[in-house]
């Protein structure tokens, strides 16, 4: 696979970091509206993202052009997988503190790097594997106390829901990466929101509630920032490999600890802080490694150019 220019990789990383930040804020909104069922929360998340997406479509050549696609089937498959991941993730927020939900979601980049290699044929460099493994060790340290609970507890249910969400999210993100070369970013984002809106309505018979004004505000906010995050996330895969971007999802750990403490009075434990240090180290390793690869590639091009003179 041809190496991407260093500037493109840096842009992809920046977009991923921005998407992770807004998605963490979205999760906090959904958690604060914990009385609202997960399917109903998914509906608001999808519907309220549409204004952001439509404005974006109009700024990228118009709606008709923006939603044009070569394969409705691919969008449907990606939409179904992504919607299930979203619904399970929202359900998990009802049973676990925000930092712990975020920690369990770190299974996503682990699974994603493997799937990207198997499905997309991306290179499996040792440094990438080591960095992701280091981040995984940090995640284990963070969630270890919850693994000691009985399987019948609500905490175990929350772990299971969130773990399922993380694995499905990895598969959905690999689909996005594969589609990015043949489908426009605008089409990928639009058809996912459309699919998740329709699928969320299927949960209506399972007990939707009428939100309070405060809950309405939270759900609307979740939809708006979620739409923005979706655009940023999808765009990031146009500039960097999934394996490169995977470790940067760990930044959400830092945001979730801060938001959890300020908003939900969730005090981070020593183990969580130690695990976060491992996570940060993984991201730093990737940044330094990709920078070195970029410098090496530039040096090789210069040598080759001199040889042709």
Write out pLDDT tens, residues 103-125: 788 777 777 777 777 776 666 67
Give the model's pLDDT for residue 38. 94
Give the model's pLDDT for residue 268. 78
Instruction: Look at residue 71 and tell me if it is in a domain.
Output: yes
Collapsing DSSP to helix, strand or coil, 73 comes out as: helix
- The H or E element that residue 65 is part of is helix 63-67
- For 248-252, what is the mean pLDDT? 79
Task: Residue 39: name the closest of 102, 91, 101, 97 by CA.
Answer: 91
pLDDT above 70 coverage of the chain, percent: 84
- For 87-109, what is the mean pLDDT? 86
DSSP state of 181: T
Give the model's pLDDT for residue 18. 92
CB atoms within 10 A of CB 308: 5
Instruction: Look at residue 309 and tell me if it is in a domain.
Output: no
Instruction: Look at residue 137 and tell me if it is in a domain.
Output: yes
pLDDT band at residue 41 using 50, 70 and 90 as cut-offs = very high
- For 274-289, what is the mean pLDDT? 75
CA 67 to chain centre: 22
- With a CB cutoff of 8 Å and minimum separation 6, the contacts of 78 are 172, 175, 176, 179, 188, 191, 192, 195
- For 146-169, what is the mean pLDDT? 78
> Crossing angle for the helix pair 50-58 and 185-201, nearest 10 degrees?
160
Instruction: Look at residue 1 and tell me if it is in a domain.
Output: no
Dist CA 11 CA 17 (whole Å): 10
Give the model's pLDDT for residue 1. 45
pLDDT, tens digit, 9 for 90 and up, residues 158-198: 888 998 998 898 888 888 877 877 888 788 888 988 999 99
pLDDT above 90 coverage of the chain, percent: 28
Instruction: Look at residue 84 and tell me if it is in a domain.
Output: yes
Domain that includes residue 176, residue range: 6-304
Higher pLDDT, 151 or 216: 216
- For 222-249, what is the mean pLDDT? 81
pLDDT score of 307 more than 70: no
pLDDT band at residue 199 using 50, 70 and 90 as cut-offs = very high
pLDDT score of 44 more than 60: yes
Dist CA 295 CA 186 (whole Å): 33
Give the model's pLDDT for residue 56. 83
pTM above 0.95, yes or no: no
Give the model's pLDDT for residue 25. 94
- Which tokens belong to 239? 């500039």
**Mean per-residue pLDDT over the chain, rounded:** 82
Per the structure, how many domains does the chain have? 1
């Amino acid at each position: 696979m041809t190496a991407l220019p260093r500037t493109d990789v840096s842009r992809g990383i920046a977009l991923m970091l921005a998407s992770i930040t807004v998605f963490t804020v979205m999760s906090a909104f959904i958690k604060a509206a914990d009385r609202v069922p997960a399917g109903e929360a998914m509906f608001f998340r999808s519907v309220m993202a549409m204004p952001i997406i439509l404005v974006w479509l109009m700024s990228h050549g118009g709606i008709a052009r923006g939603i044009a696609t070569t394969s409705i089937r691919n969008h449907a498959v990606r939409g179904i997988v992504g919607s299930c991941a979203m619904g399970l993730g929202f359900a998990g927020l009802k049973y676990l503190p925000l930092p712990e939900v975020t920690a369990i979601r770190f299974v996503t980049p682990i699974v994603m790097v493997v799937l990207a290699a198997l499905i997309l044929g991306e290179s499996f460099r040792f440094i990438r594997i080591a960095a992701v493994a280091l981040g995984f060790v940090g995640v284990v340290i963070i969630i270890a106390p919850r693994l000691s609970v009985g399987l019948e507890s609500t905490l175990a249910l929350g772990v299971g829901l969130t773990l399922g969400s993380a694995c499905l999210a990895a598969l959905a993100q690999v689909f996005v990466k594969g589609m990015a070369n043949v489908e426009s970013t605008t089409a990928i984002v639009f058809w996912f929101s459309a699919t998740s809106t329709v699928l969320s309505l299927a949960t209506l018979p399972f007990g939707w509630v009428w939100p309070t004004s405060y809950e309405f505000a939270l759900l609307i906010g979740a939809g708006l920032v979620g739409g923005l995050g979706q655009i940023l996330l999808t765009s990031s895969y146009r500039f960097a490999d999934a394996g490169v971007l995977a470790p940067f999802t760990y930044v959400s750990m830092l945001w979730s600890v801060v938001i959890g403490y300020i908003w939900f009075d969730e005090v981070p434990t020593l183990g969580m802080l130690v695990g976060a240090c491992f996570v940060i180290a993984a991201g730093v390793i990737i940044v330094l490694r990709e920078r070195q690869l970029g410098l090496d590639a530039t040096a090789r091009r210069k040598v080759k150019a001199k040889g042709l003179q």
